[in-house]
Structure 1
Amino acid sequence: MSGVLDTQALLRLMAWLSPAFPIGGFAWSGGLERAVHDDLVETAGDLSDWLATLLTHGSLWNDAVLFCEASRQFESGAGLKEVAELGLALAGSAERHAETLALGRAFVTAASAWPAEVFDLLPADVPFPVAVGAVAAAHGVPVENALAAYLHAAVSQSVSAAIRLGVCGQSEGVAVLARLETQIGEPAEHAADSTLDDLGSAVVQADIASLRHERQNSRLFRS
């Protein structure tokens, strides 16, 4: 059950997970660019299926579990260090490692405009979901609300990348977001009660696409 999301918490979530927040999320596609190149994602329907699978069985599910663990550990430097190291170890390719690390570092730098003790506890090398989960918890944002916003932002970024890659237009992209509301809400609810034992991925094609992107010559994105 989610807690009460007050106006201040809502405003902070809107700021932290806005496309305008200075973390450089627009530069990454999480392997989607290679999936488009390899004709694995050709239409808005393909994109919806791709993202739904990541939410339930792939990297976004693991992000959700890590996010919630970081939320629980936000007052423990040792706990945050452990979950951060695990999050980085779970990155399936060099680019995915670089992506989550770059976004995590940039988020910590930008979010420090809202002072909190958690910034002294977070390790220097922190993956993105761990950074957001810990900071949101430190500011009293209910974990289910914070995670739903995080996952929605991640899906929105992928849709934006797909539009730039020519997979779909803006209207189709908005329809994908509408179609995925349930797939975003359910992982957010389930992950709130998860433990690290629930980590796991079964998206072999997505992992291979991320690995193959490292050798792609012509590209718009860094991953």
Structure 2
Amino acid sequence: MIPWLAVQQLLDSALPIGGFSHSFGLETAVQEGRIRNMLELEKYLGTMILQSWSTADAMVVKAVYETADGQDWKRLWHVERLVHLQRIGSETRSGVEKMGRRLLQLAVVIHPAIDWSPLQKAHESGECLATHPLVHGFICLRLGLSLEQAVQGYLYTCIVTGTGSALRLLSVGQTECQALITRLSPVIGQGWEIARELRPEDAYGNVPVSELYAARHETLYSRLFMS
């Protein structure tokens, strides 16, 4: 498949990996009145890019690129768990694992010529969790993308997931969400600049309120999303 088209497929919001079922705490923020409009959503997603997704999740993507060629799998699985265990909400941890597993299953089917065995065997043996950022990074590497493209692509998918949730949680339309994605594109570039300077083992998250939203989600009286 043409590489750049394969990437478009990977970043498509319609990719059937279950992202539409998860808000990762955004539903809690809306129900509690913390996010009421597109301006507040933009600030929230921008903060997540710069202080969570680029400093934590992107480190797993980066670890793939730093370890896969040398097959330093032990280090890669360590970084994945280091990042994953920082997620406080059990629903969030479960959601990131489910999306990753589904993405891996999909990749095996649509790209059968690529060798996925290192990831498949490690997941089957329990060495890795096959979380979403890990599988995303692995796919991008196998498709020949640069690390910069892989990280920026992952940050983009996070934004798309967030705006997709907003469509069902706020009184907003498709056009407003697409405009928001465009406005946040420069922030993705800033997120990459942050990720570029960090070591994967230095991964951290600095948006505690999002973790609280995620943890409180399971106690909401009514819920549209699984997380």
**Partner in structure 2 of residue 137 of structure 1:** 141
1:215 aligns with 2:219: yes
Q: Percent identity?
A: 26
Task: Count residues in correspondence.
Answer: 216
Paired residue type of 1:107: L
Q: Which runs of 5+ in 1 are unaligned?
A: 1-6
What is the TM-score normalised by the length of structure 2? Answer: 0.88
**Partner in structure 2 of residue 34 of structure 1:** 28
Paired residue type of 2:218: E
Give the alignment of 1:57-136 within 5 angstroms.
Answer: 57-75=51-69, 76=71, 77-113=73-109, 114=111, 115-117=113-115, 119-122=116-119, 123-124=122-123, 125-136=129-140
User: Could you tell me how far apart the structure 1 residues matched to 2:196 and 2:17 are?
Assistant: 25
Q: Contact conserved, 1:85 with 1:126, CA < 8 A, in 2?
A: no
Cα 1:214–1:60 change in 2 (3 A) is farther
User: Could you tell me how far apart the structure 2 residues matched to 1:66 and 1:84 are?
Assistant: 6
User: Could you tell me how far apart the structure 2 residues matched to 1:207 and 1:83 are?
Assistant: 19
Q: Contact conserved, 2:99 with 2:131, CA < 8 A, in 1?
A: yes
1:199 aligns with 2:195: no
Q: Which runs of 5+ in 2 are unaligned?
A: 124-128
Q: Contact conserved, 2:54 with 2:191, CA < 8 A, in 1?
A: no
Supply the RMSD in Å over aligned alpha carbons: 1.8
Q: Contact conserved, 2:159 with 2:181, CA < 8 A, in 1?
A: yes
Give the alignment of 1:38-49 within 5 angstroms.
Answer: 38-49=32-43
**Partner in structure 1 of residue 155 of structure 2:** 151
| 4+ residue segments displaced more than 4 Å | none
Question: Relative to total residues, which structure has the larger helix share, 1 or 2?
Answer: 2
**Partner in structure 2 of residue 20 of structure 1:** 14
- Quick check: 65-74 or 99-108, which moved more? 65-74
Deviations 1:166-185 (A, max 9, x none): 25222221221121111111
What is the TM-score normalised by the length of structure 1? Answer: 0.89
Deviations 1:109-139 (A, max 9, x none): 101131333x221231211101111221122
User: Could you tell me how far apart the structure 1 residues matched to 2:202 and 2:3 are?
Assistant: 28
Tell me how far 1:59 sits from its aligned partner. Answer: 4.1
Q: Contact conserved, 1:24 with 1:103, CA < 8 A, in 2?
A: yes
- Quick check: 43-52 or 134-143, which moved more? 134-143
Tell me how far 1:8 sits from its aligned partner. Answer: 2.3
User: Could you tell me how far apart the structure 2 residues matched to 1:201 and 1:78 are?
Assistant: 23
**Partner in structure 2 of residue 163 of structure 1:** 167
User: Could you tell me how far apart the structure 2 residues matched to 1:193 and 1:167 are?
Assistant: 38
SS where residue 2 of structure 2 aligns?
helix
SS where residue 35 of structure 2 aligns?
coil
